[in-house]
Structure 1
Amino acid sequence: MQVGLKTATSSTAAALSRGAIDAPQSVKTRSVTETSAKRNPFPEAALISTRPLRYNVQLNQQLTAVQQADNYLAETETQLLLLRHSTGRHDLPEKAAGLQRLLDKRPQLSGGTVDRHFSVSLQQNTQVNFTLAGSEKLLQNPGGETLVFSLGGSKRELAAVALPEEAAPRQVLMHLNVGLGRLGINARQDITGRVKFSVDESRWDRVSQQLSVKGEGHNYPSDSFTLLAVQPEQAQHEGLVQIAARPESARENNARMQSALEQITSQRGKLRIHQDRVRSRIDDMATPYTPKQAQETARALGNVLEKSTESFSGLNRALGAQANLHLATVKNLLG
């Protein structure tokens, strides 16, 4: 447990306010003005980088993910609105270039928290959904064939899948997942019977261009690897890329831009719920002391430590135990 002290002197107050959790929401603007009671709604990113041990690792990660996602969605929303309401053709290329930059660097700028549908993914890596040509025939007629999947790139990866002679589609799908899972690919069957695949977006470039398979002549040739036709699921990302490439068509694609804006608004609303939860956790971690009480406690602690190393050892154990107690219990004991 960390105890943050605030003194009445201006120099100490300014120093402490830089590390306090009542920093402004904006990541780009910082204020060191001390506020006595009012707390701003959410910590800023600089607070994490300058005082990384103030919160536990899980909370730090949650803070970072929420901020990165919200910052990216806010910038994309602004750029979309600028392009949508552009008054003349002379500034269209500039607005389109700004949107294209955000789309190209989405994984980096969002820290991997915003996927191709502009949905927020805070707990797991963003995924790309896709289909493979001819995958349905594997489920209907596996034929006991052994398939060897190859994922090229700087380091080639191989995975073998032994299909059963005859089996229900669900069983064949399980066999596929055992092998393809080694390549980071997961397969499932939707309600229409189509086979859908998914992979982490960080591996998508390799999968989309360098996934091949060799069989035993039943479903796939045995003499060489066959490059698989990978088709990604249509997403908001592709639609906006087309608009950015042809900004003069922005007015014609007003419905597509409106859909993207509605999706961004919806996701930012969900992020505000996460912010409320994080804020609640931070408030639970706040010290129950006023600045004056904290100074008196620190002074008393210093006096005890001066007496003997034996007292220090006992007090150190007591403080260690305090960290595992409920806040109300500690307040009652100290009171």
Structure 2
Amino acid sequence: MIQQNAARETQAASSVPLRTRPLAAALILTAGILLLVLGIGVSVSFGAADILFSTVWEAVFHFNPESTQHQIIADLRMPRVLGGAMVGASFAVAGAIMQGMTRNPLADSGLLGLNAGAGFMLALCFAFFPGMAYSKIILMSFLGAAGGAALIYGIGSIAKGGLTPLRLVLAGAALSALLSALSEGIALYFHIGQDIAFWYAGGVSGTTWIQLKVMLPWFLAALLGAIALSRSITMLSLGDEIAKGLGQRTGLVKLGGTVVVLILAGASVSVVGAVGFVGLIIPHLTRYLVGVDYRWIIPCSAVLGSLLVVVSDLAARMIHPPYETPIGALIALIGVPFFLYLTRKERREL
């Protein structure tokens, strides 16, 4: 009887078309990319030394190494802005995959301990291996993110009744606080507070071309993997039983999605630090705009996530020039109320 009911639910789910808005998704991709290019141009031109758009254009397409403004654009501002765009896309796509796989609306790499795990591993690297190459640091960030995720799911599974969205978030908050405290203790004991303070605040000001060169292959591979898994994640978002009934190998899909999330979150934390809530806000906004098909959600989340971080970085420099406000703090001003709204909504639905 139970199998017949599951089969009936699977058949009903497969016969009902998913709520999608392909025209809205196409519009978001087109307009979002145009706004992103415009935001990158404005962000590159704005700073302690304001630079004209025409100078930015010349520096990109006709670089003059003898020009001080061209050097500022090429060596400081371009890697900063492009790094912000890559990181925003990474956090947003990671959050979308996590929410789709776990059916947990509160899932986010920051809330579930991945960012704190990666940050803790960075603290260990700075303390014990100060001269470590960035290519190895990014691998250690992956391991730290994986360790944080494993601990969160382990702690959440111990409780009676198994994993619930709220239980995962509580476990994530507790472990994140613990790992952050340990990271601060390591920073104080080994006198690396200045080195690691950047990762606590979250920011893209120190991004270099070397970091982007190392991160880019990982980012592209993970993004392509996310797109390849998008249809399967759509099925998983309907429930494990339905996904299995539709022929999905849920174990392999979850393994692939987890690897993608660890790569995206680990690489991003190694560049900008603990910037939270991007992976929480953007997937919800994207689903509201384009529907529940992850073939649209993932690329649209990448574009909107990039746009959010680029605009936030620009705002961080405009609030109190010449000083900069950490972008993590700015995004948290939006993310914390949104998180509280989702938590309240989840409690009403229980």
Normalising by the smaller structure, the TM-score range is under 0.3
Q: Which of the pair has the greater relative contact order for Cα pairs under 8 Å at 6+ separation? A: 2
Q: TM-score, normalised by structure 2?
A: 0.25
Structure with greater helix percent: 2
Q: TM-score, normalised by structure 1?
A: 0.26
Structure with greater strand percent: 1
